[in-house]
Amino acid sequence: MEQAVSKEEIRQLSLEARREGKRIALVPTMGALHEGHLSLVRAAQTRADVVVASIFVNPTQFGPGEDFEAYPRDLERDMALLSAEGVDAVFTPSADAMYAPDAQVTVDPGPLGELWEGTSRPGHFRGVCTVVAKLLSLVSPDVAFFGEKDYQQLVIVRRMAADLDFPVKIVACPVVRDPDGLAVSSRNAYLSPEERRAATVLYRALREAETLVCGGERDGSFVEQAMRDTVESEPLAVLDYAALVDPRTLVRVAEAPGARAIIAARIGATRLIDTMAMPSSV
Ligand code: AMP
């Protein structure tokens, strides 16, 4: 497995692969790798000749007072995991290598960036769009893999690629969960054992919504209230939002079938998100 730390190295690597006529996949991550990330890598391997993973804790997508400093980092372990998966190359730039000190142009995520996560995390999606645009420019992949876990991010990256004419196909991968339903996340490492147990409430709320829709419930606000009630029944959880939205526009919908359920809650000091597609025909 090759490692590139500079923009020149990763550009060169990608250029060589392209010259050999190889199809390139990109899997962007912030490291602290888990089964969710590895599912993206495995999906990428089925769709490309060369898989490039990036590990970069992007400072510009963290707000003041968020967990940028505390975010788990273990490059040695991550490299071993990626190597064991047969990844071809890993891009591990420093923040200084990624951003020039006088950089000032960023990518505006548009109105989608103001909704949901954007309300709780102002500027987050500008940081995400900017770094993803840079990674797409540096690696020029044919195909790039994103998890549905960060559903709003996926929708915004798709829009960005379409609206800014990036010649890349964005592929979505399903949410990987622990056996008790909790979506795996690097931030789960922050949870105490008691909080870890409480954290399943996000999944329980989503399942409650799914069960209602499967049972014929169509009223979006009724289903949303049921999700809120589930979260409120968990003393360690503080709900941020629980909503049924249009899968593409992320605007709240009145009709539950076919909607995308999205949820965010704090469990102690840790903010977690999750999502589930609601069945469309019952
Ligand atoms: P992160 O390192 O948190 O920025 O995540 C990197 C990529 O992995 C993003 O596209 C995430 O959506 C995806 N991802 C994170 N957790 C999961 C999960 N539990 N299941 C599927 N994909 C995930």
pLDDT tens, 155-191? 999 999 999 999 999 999 999 999 999 999 999 999 9
Cβ of 61 below 6 Å from ligand 1: no
Q: How many domains does the chain have?
A: 2
Distance from residue 146's CA to the centre of ligand 1 (Å): 7
Q: Is 13 helix (H, G, I), strand (E, B) or coil?
A: helix
Q: Are residues 12 and 83 part of one domain? A: yes
Residue located via tokens 């209602």: 212
Cβ of 29 below 6 Å from ligand 1: yes
Per-residue model confidence as pLDDT tens for the chain (282 residues): 999 999 999 999 999 999 999 999 999 999 999 999 999 999 999 999 999 999 999 999 999 999 999 999 999 999 999 999 999 999 999 999 999 999 999 999 999 999 999 999 999 999 999 999 999 999 999 999 999 999 999 999 999 999 999 999 999 999 999 999 999 999 999 999 999 999 999 999 999 999 999 999 999 999 999 999 999 999 999 999 999 999 999 999 999 999 999 999 999 999 999 999 999 975
For residue 210, count other CB atoms closer than 10 A to its CB: 17
203 found inside a domain:
yes
Handedness of CA 149, 153, 159, 164 (dihedral sign): negative
pLDDT tens figures, 43-74: 999 999 999 999 999 999 999 999 999 999 99
163 found inside a domain:
yes
Backbone angles phi and psi of 131, in degrees to 5: -70, -35
Q: What is the pLDDT of residue 282?
A: 58
Task: Give the contacts of 182 (CB within 8 A, at least 6 positions apart).
Answer: 188, 196, 199, 200, 202, 203
Q: Taking a C-beta distance cutoff of 8 angstroms, is the pair 264, 241 a contact? A: yes
Q: Are residues 162 and 196 part of one domain? A: no
Tokens of 20: 């050999």
Q: Domain of 244? A: 186-274
Q: What angle do CA 23, 33, 115 make, to 5 degrees?
A: 85
181 found inside a domain:
no
Handedness of CA 143, 144, 145, 151 (dihedral sign): negative
For residue 205, count other CB atoms closer than 10 A to its CB: 28
Q: Are residues 262 and 168 part of one domain? A: no
Q: Kindly give the pairing relationship between strand 237-245 and strand 270-277.
A: unpaired
Q: Are residues 157 and 198 part of one domain? A: no
Q: What is the pLDDT of residue 84?
A: 98
136 found inside a domain:
yes
Statement: the pTM of the whole predicted model exceeds 0.85:
yes
Residue located via tokens 């788990």: 72
Domain edge (last residue) among 173, 206, 236: 173
Distance from residue 28's CA to the centre of ligand 1 (Å): 9
125 found inside a domain:
yes
Please report, for residues 13, 86, 135, 252, the alpha-carbon distance to residue 6 in angstroms, rounded to integers and kept in the order given: 11, 22, 12, 42
Q: Are residues 204 and 162 part of one domain? A: no
55 found inside a domain:
yes
Q: Are residues 236 and 167 part of one domain? A: no
Cβ of 36 below 6 Å from ligand 1: yes
Tokens of 80: 């071993």
